[in-house]
Amino acid sequence: MKRYGITQSNHTTRWLISYADFVTLLFAFFVLMFAATNAKEGRHQELSATLVQIFNAPPTSVKPIPKESMPPGLEPEMNILEQMELPSLGDQQSSDQNYAKETTFIEIRQKVNDGFRQLIENRLISIDGNHQWLEITLDGELVFYPGTALLTPDSETVLYELTKVLRYVRQPMNIEGFTDDQPINGGRYADNWQLSAARAATVVAYMVQAGLNPRQLSAIGYGEHQPIVPNNSEDNRRKNRRVVISVTSNDVVLHSN
């Protein structure tokens, strides 16, 4: 009976161990979430401060984009463009026509390196290329609010300044959207294909409104299917969420395998 009583007592108090483990894990979870939130807030504050140092002020005025010219399904998230009125780059383009004809990809790359040096050092923008091709990569966190195709205020400044440089390009430009491999649960987009395509289209619409020739631009969505690093950590998934502006010389012929 004594032995049975000890066994019964152990069974009746064993739940306390599981309960204590659960409380400990719950506490650790909330501490982790709090730390992650503070890190993101600090990142955005650092980004905004960097943009203020680089540029005098973001563009504040923009003509509304006609609804009929917007990509299907993007209207609700394009309201940021309706509240702005970007100054036209047409006058600058006409005054720089002679220079534009002589501008090479190498020179454009140098302009981006000089104008966005701090953002490049912070790994929010990267640029690569040579005399035949050019590729500008924008960090997804910099450009869009999480899970949406809505531009952040910081991205408006960056995209506008990039447009001022890219007005020298005469070749077609592909705007490519990429996501991580996390499935989308709810919201207006059924999957990462749609989200990446919508993000690319949003950047195209902004750049057209800022003064680029719409005939030069195309929007492409790749979803999660072309990661640059494995999607095995949050830091890597952040790197895979990106927008790429890709330009290729007309002299380059692409061969498929």
**Is residue 94 one of the residues assigned to a domain?**
yes
**Is residue 1 one of the residues assigned to a domain?**
no
**Is residue 20 one of the residues assigned to a domain?**
no
**pLDDT the model gives residue 153:** 86
**Is residue 255 one of the residues assigned to a domain?**
no
**Is residue 103 one of the residues assigned to a domain?**
yes
Task: Provide mean pLDDT across the span 226-253.
Answer: 89
> At 174, which CATH number?
3.30.1330.60
Tens digits of per-residue pLDDT, 4-50? 444 455 555 666 666 666 667 666 656 555 555 554 555 555 555 55
Q: Which residues contact 196 (CB under 8 A, 6 or more apart)?
A: 177, 178, 179, 221, 222, 223, 224
Reference 86, options 248, 249, 205, 237; nearest CA is 205
**pLDDT the model gives residue 71:** 43
**pLDDT the model gives residue 91:** 46
Most confident of 62-66, 153-157, 213-217: 213-217
* Percent helix, percent strand, percent coil in the chain, to nearest 5: 55, 15, 35
Q: Does the pLDDT at position 79 exceed 70? A: no
Residues 156 and 81: their CA atoms lie apart, in Å, by 9
Residue 76 belongs to what domain range?
Answer: 55-248
Q: Are 250 and 141 in contact (CB under 8 A)?
A: no
Sign of torsion, CA 238 240 246 251?
Answer: positive
Tens digits of per-residue pLDDT, 123-177? 999 999 998 999 999 999 889 998 899 999 888 889 999 999 998 888 999 999 9
**Is residue 34 one of the residues assigned to a domain?**
no
**Is residue 26 one of the residues assigned to a domain?**
no
Total domain count for the chain? 1
**Is residue 215 one of the residues assigned to a domain?**
yes
The 3-state secondary structure of 24-51 reads HHHHHHHHHHHHHHHHHHHHHHHHHHHH
